[in-house]
Structure 1
Amino acid sequence: MAQNYYEELGVTRDATPDEIKKSYRKLARKYHPDVSKEADAEAKMQAINVAYDTLSNPEKKTEYDQMLDHPQGFSGFGQGTPGGAGFDGGQFYQQGHASDFSGFEDLFGRFGAGFGGSNQQYQRQTRSYRGEDQHASIEVDLEVAYHGTTQNLTLQIPTLNAYGEPEVQRKTLQVKIPKGMKEGQQIRLNGQGQAGINGGENGDLYIEIQYKDTDRIHVEGVDVYYTIDVAPWEAALGKNIEVMTPSGRLNVNLPKNARTGQQLRLKDKGIPNKTPGNLYLVLNIVLPEAQTEQQQQAYETLAQAFASFKPRG
């Protein structure tokens, strides 16, 4: 046998399917005629295609391994046969009758070879492969969740170049982000992933949406947590207050004697997903500074009114 498929792909016989695939992709990027500077790139690309076509198919691989274990049954191919070759993709022929090789036609047929008489050509079949999918994550303002947007995004995506080397690829894409996307949800951009091999279609690019946290707002799925400031008397008396929320301007009734850290749930006012989230108002009671004599007197009056209050137990 003139060429061993495992040697062609640079793997051992006990290599896993993933290892075989990984090695093939690395070699394909190195020898692809569109990018390779190697003098024998086209021939090498055809050879590794033939090797991968066999080793990536469990049935073909089993038969090929049997052939490797019993080379004497194939001695007419590439070993002592004039002009002969085995699985190296060249021509092979026999002297005598086709019946001398009876029993092997089906095997070679499965490997993609033409067979059936003298001076037959081994037919290479170049396979195409879909490019890998890629993933990226971006942060956007929460208002995008409520209104949607279309914006240009420049992404830095880890990938492999045509020579199989890791690199960071910069892509500027116009992306439409629909309203209602929950935290962690993905947008799929068809054909924007890694390039295909041998004319195969490109992979897809998946962009995961994350919302920017601030000291006031954070998002969990479709629920929004928004911290608002309230005055002591608003909290104590249970006042109706107006609040500008991510969902818009709302009137909210505070419960009497509300406390800092208490949460008020506004149903369906979170991210307007197919299943809307809730908006949780997290109360933060803010004490005004006593800057004037009148304001200081107001605190004195308050202290007398709550003489029994012991803030430290």
Structure 2
Amino acid sequence: MEYKDYYKILGVSRSATPEEIKRAYRKLAREFHPDKNKDAGAEARFKEVNEANEVLSDPEKRKAYDALGANWKAGQQFNPPPGWDFGGGAGGFGGGFDTRGFSRGRTRAGAAGAGMGGAGGFSDFFSQLFGGAAGGFGGAGGGFQNFENATPGDTRAKLSINLEDSYEGAQRQISIGERVLNVRVPKGVTSGQTIRLAGQGSQGGDLLLELEFAPHKQFRAEGRDVHVTVNLAPWEAALGGKLPVPTLGGTVELNLPANSRGGQKLRLKGRGLPGATPGDQFVNLQIVQPPAASDADRAVYESMAKHFAGFDPRQN
């Protein structure tokens, strides 16, 4: 079998800290996740990244792997040294999971198995070293152990969703070993809530998926409230008027008061995440000054300076 250089796969040095490994893994997992990357080879690369993280994020597995030495090159034929016995066990979670208990609200949802062929198992190299006791968990972005010898109990993991998934409701697929589960994300869920999949955990226990929002290019959520920053030209802030504002439900017009200030917050009631009491959207105003890129531009600013000669921004 071929030796796998897990450090090279994640693009980190052999002295990388756990935080550096976590950052590298998350970046690559987002890049090659099959839900987002449809290029040929992306799924195989995603599995490879998951496997590398499964080893390097686990202190016992990493220690055992490092004991093999740093002189191996990826692709070389490899066999475990005589007497090799990994004593770290196969229990626990891979680096993509957080095993802390959940104390926030839970949302119950159904899950249905959808046949074989999920995110798949690990390589022969991994199996020879660690017993092959892990399978991919693509939906939550990390390694997930098979608990064939575990006692029944709830299994916990994190599931990253988009703000739009909460606003509109969504269906998501996650892979556990060779099982694919369909997960319904209800409208109005918030970060930290848990979806319980009855009977889908270890040995007949439940699978608890703690929801977290993926970073969004425009919006940020706090509970059911949504925050967005909108840029203004100086004359828009001074004169006021109709201001187009993006929301999760589409663009709306906000009545911008005259003499608005940078850093000021305006509220769009009920435009946050849905619920029995919908959240609000808060619009943070940011004034952007046009550059004085030409003589004509400078002349305008000089005229303004003369017109507002009595205005002292450091006193007002």
Normalized against structure 1, the TM-score is what? 0.49
